[in-house]
Amino acid sequence: MFDQAIKEIEGSGDIIGTPRSFQDYVAETKLGNKRTAQYISINSISDLTSELKNSGYMVFRLGSPKGSRNTEFALAKAVESWADYFFIDEDIFSNSELEVFLPSASIRSLFAFQLLPTLTETSIVNLAMASGLLTEALGIEQDNNQSIPATGQSVFTFDFQPTSHSNEVLTHNQGQVEIDALFVGKRKGKECLFVIEAKSGKEFDSLAKHKLLYPMLALQNNIPAYMEVIPVYLRTIRKEGYIEFNIAECSIPRRNGVFGALNELKTEKISRFSLHGY
């Protein structure tokens, strides 16, 4: 699928390709009818085609430029490792011990979560908040006013830098961005904005870092410059009789109000809790 695009980048000596229409590329390379989302909507390493994985390239879905109905894409080389563009669960969580979390919240406030046969990712974030698990993991000062996470989904346009190893900037044009959870909490006496990307599964996997960075970039111009922004990756795994919460508090440079390159999004603190009865 992407052999030709990879050859073009390798021949140019660059590590980031030029954005182009996916359907135009398919037509030019005579690849037949291909569904756009299947090849360029990447959530984990396993979503990459074999030639991308073998060559060490990430593909970014970039939305559609004004006046065009075709979705664009661009490739970018992983310079150091796949950790440039992905959170790899085994690497970031496996060396930390799992602790039992005992909620201080009342049974009444958590009862509704026990009635549901399955919990959506939004419900799991709400459970983590309502039980006090997330505030404990993130060191948020507790008070009587419990934060209610905001969620959203819309189309946004913004620029982003895939890697600090290149000055190349890509534009995400009117592409859809989903925000799993967004809330404000006080930590060390300062109000902080927490941006959560939550994923559920049966085992460790990986997460494309742009799934966490895109919501931050979508909101970048509306966030006060003085407010610290804390990205958080939450991986939950359903076990027999309990839910395992793997929480990675992250950081990324913010220079003059602009967030840094995708590969600069790093994990800072890991917390792992088991919440029984769900």
pLDDT digit string, tens, across residues 75-116: 999 999 999 999 999 999 999 999 999 998 888 989 999 888
Domain boundaries, the chain: 3-77, 86-276
| Residue pointed to by tokens 């009342």 | 106
User: Would you say 235 and 201 are in contact if contact means Cβ atoms under 8 Å apart?
Assistant: yes
Average pLDDT (188-205) is 94
Confidence band of 4 (pLDDT split at 50, 70, 90):
very high
Torsion sign (Cα): 126, 129, 132, 133: positive
Q: Is the pTM of this model over 0.75?
A: yes
**In angstroms, rounded to a whole number, what is the distance separating the alpha carbons of residues 196 and 230?**
9
What pLDDT, on a 0 to 100 scale, did the predictor assign at position 144? Answer: 62
Checking phi first, is residue 197 left (phi over 0); if not, alpha (psi -120 to 50) or beta? beta
What pLDDT, on a 0 to 100 scale, did the predictor assign at position 67? Answer: 83
Residues 6+ apart with CB under 8 A from 203: 237
Inter-residue long-range contacts of 145-151, CB under 8 Å, 24+ positions, other chains counted: 147/183, 147/184, 147/185, 148/183, 149/125, 149/181, 149/182, 149/183, 149/196, 150/179, 150/181, 150/182, 150/183, 151/122, 151/179, 151/180, 151/181, 151/182
User: Cβ of 59: how many Cβ atoms within 10 Å?
Assistant: 24
